[in-house]
Copies of this chain bind each other. A is one copy, B any other.
């Protein structure tokens, strides 16, 4: 059915959303469904566009059409627009396609004038009501159509209230209201130079024009800009017969959620106010009653409302948010829309709807907002808007934590042992602080970005962390943290929210993570449906256990360097790095070997039967050494202490080595496989540890699937050389058992050149894992540490970039490289498996991209797994739906 430009509700429907706007489409839908909706019509968004294209003129003939449509309303309501006897009143409301709550204008009670008000009084036998409507109408019309500031109306109202000593509008007497109407009209004439219009057609025309004009009001324009709503979308105008909630004690108005929007429980939820119109509920001078009370007060209305709620849920297959009015005991529905709900409720509603047979599992999954899920998976804060914020930094690792501030890792460890909860605050953390990070509830650093040491370690541990909190000052000597006039000292309580990046002084209440049965059920559905596998980034046996708990089908990335970071190991790693001779380095490596072997063994056991992807050492060696400044300080303090010669020599050696290893751009320096090629003994040790661990496990009956990943390959020769090393060591260690250890060798594609020459590289690779963090850094030429909080923030705020490319994969640039690499890689090696293991592995849009280009699996941090499992299912469903649409189109 085609839509007229003035379209009666009964001729519309939700499929015409773009012409009728949200409100109009759903009013039409409800009308067709037979629900009690006051009759009305919609003037379409086409008319709005036409209005603006002709210099704010309504199209010729439109008012005639509107008046004609009104006669239909008149018939149905048995009243006549402008009739002094049986006056029909209407509401004129905006109705945009995308919801823009409160942004646009509405006029109620239109059709009243000095004559019809008397007619209304007689008709309802309620003169007080009629004048109440009239004074409301004059105020709304005056402010919306004629732009008279509301304060002028409020002053008159207040004066009258003061004179009659009423606190509440509802208590105003018939006489007072009539007096107010007279005052309003006088003031109206003063302000506009014309008397208040008595011609109801003129009233209607000017109200329609005013609603269209409100589309270009400054607040509406700004709202559209912020929410990316195109200007040409336009608004529709709904003209609807008035029903009155303010007609007395059997009338009222209210809002209803078909289920509880906080818990998702299948119980009607909402509130209502008797003898009131819509704006009174919002106004807040009277306290509304909970909807349950309506059952006692007006059982029949309640019954009808309940049935309508069920009918609407079944019709829309979603939880609804309904506006209703009761006029003299009769129920009318004035609006319905899909209800907003919190994450927990969303899960329960989705699960319940499936169980009730209303929607499919696929539909339920598609309704989950994965961004919201994060709140459920971590401890969270409930913060008022006016809570004092100490500072805001980068949201480096989600979740909330609360503890007493300490400024040193040792102290953190010590206090934790003493049973205290601590928050570790540091300028920046180094590997030497690791025991402090482990001991702390959460971490806050003043420097460093989303990939700084603290951030990476904290995310791996699922521990809340804020980084780059540069607005704070840390006075290390005085041991205090300063923000404006707030001073935090050691032992003071601090609460941090790693999801928002905000820190709050004092101890705040935390909400525990909430893994409900519904979440588990939905995760199970996601696993049934999705086609991409989901693995975890896990760097320790503990991580591996967590990963398995959260549903990982293997480990997609084990960063072996994190295994070097425990306080007992760091000194040996440093010894290895400081070694001047290869034999000395070998000695240190010999000590590290059994430690790594032991880690791998536990991880293999934990992941029995699942692949474990182990990335060989990646970061530049200087990351394991103290930084130059710190060493210089140590050296200065040595001088005064007249320390032993050996200490001094050792320190000088370390300083020399740190200097040697210093790089101008460490991101582009001697790291990844470049390290493995320059110091083959390091990789050899790691490979030996992997296969020795595998051998042990095989003998214990564990099924071992090691995937050895060579990082930062840029030229096939690098991979070729190191693959040979893996094969040789595997042969030596495993011998006969090789056939029970179907290991793979692959590479991380994280350098643009690797993606560009993926065809060549695939010849030596069993798998590609896209390291999208580094790939994004190099493809954009952004150092994440330097960009975030500096120009990148400005870029995103000013729309120079659509998104932060470290959070949402840049499909145009980085994605193009990935797609090229997948196509070329598979064409040269059809057995190649492909995956993504950067932080994008947990982002919905990015996962959709991975699905589209056909990656085999995603890998993300254990705590992100539930989100990723659902997102992967959503991506699969979206692809299927798109395909179906395409097929239908052909």
Contact = CB atoms under 8 A, between A and B. Distances in A.
A123 interface: no
B791 A778 contact: no
A677 interface: yes
Contact of A791 (B670, B750, B777, B790): B670
Question: What copy number does this chain have within its complex?
Answer: 2
Contacts of A783: 663-669
A668 to B, nearest CB: 4
A794 B717 CA distance: 13
A781 B753 contact: yes
Contacts of A663: 783, 785-786
Interface in A756-801: 756-757, 760, 774, 777-783, 785-787, 790-791, 794-795, 799-801
Interface string A658-692: 00000111111110001001100000000000000
Nearest to A718: B800
Contact of A712 (B715, B777, B781): B781
A813 interface: yes
Contacts of A800: 677, 715, 717-718, 721
A810 B670 CA distance: 20
Interface in A41-60: none
B667 A664 contact: yes
A812 interface: yes
Nearest to A800: B717
A816 interface: yes
B780 A714 contact: yes
A717 B802 CA distance: 10
A639 to B, nearest CB: 14
A779 B756 contact: yes
B756 A780 contact: no
Contacts of A779: 751-753, 756, 778
Contacts of A750: 781
A27 interface: no
A814 interface: yes
**For the side of the interface on A, what is the size category?**
35 or more
Contacts of A712: 781
Interface in A242-260: none
A870 interface: no
A768 to B, nearest CB: 16
A817 interface: yes
A402 to B, nearest CB: 31
Contacts of A782: 668, 714
Contact of A751 (B678, B781, B794, B795): B781
A626 B195 CA distance: 75
A813 B665 contact: no
A761 to B, nearest CB: 11
A129 to B, nearest CB: 58
A791 B678 contact: yes
Contacts of A756: 779, 812-813, 816-817
A573 to B, nearest CB: 20
A678 B721 CA distance: 45
Contacts of A774: 781
Contacts of A666: 664-665, 783, 786
Contacts of A816: 756-757
Contact of A778 (B760, B781, B812): B781
Q: Which of A670, A714, A750, A799 has the most CB of B within 10 A?
A: A714
Contact of A678 (B664, B718, B780, B794): B794
Interface string A715-733: 1011001000000000000
A422 to B, nearest CB: 28
Nearest to A717: B800
Interface string A813-833: 110110000000000000000
Contacts of A786: 663-666, 668-670
A42 to B, nearest CB: 39
Interface of A: 663-670, 674, 677-678, 712, 714-715, 717-718, 721, 750-753, 756-757, 760, 774, 777-783, 785-787, 790-791, 794-795, 799-801, 810, 812-814, 816-817
Nearest 7 pairs between A and B by C-beta?
Answer: A668-B783, A665-B783, A753-B813, A669-B786, A751-B781, A663-B786, A752-B752
27 contacts: A664-B785, A664-B786, A667-B668, A668-B668, A668-B781, A668-B786, A669-B786, A669-B787, A677-B794, A678-B794, A714-B781, A717-B801, A718-B800, A750-B781, A751-B780, A751-B781, A752-B752, A752-B778, A752-B779, A752-B781, A752-B813, A752-B817, A753-B780, A753-B814, A756-B813, A757-B812, A778-B778
Given A663-B783, A664-B786, A669-B790, 4 more contacts: A665-B785, A669-B786, A752-B813, A757-B813
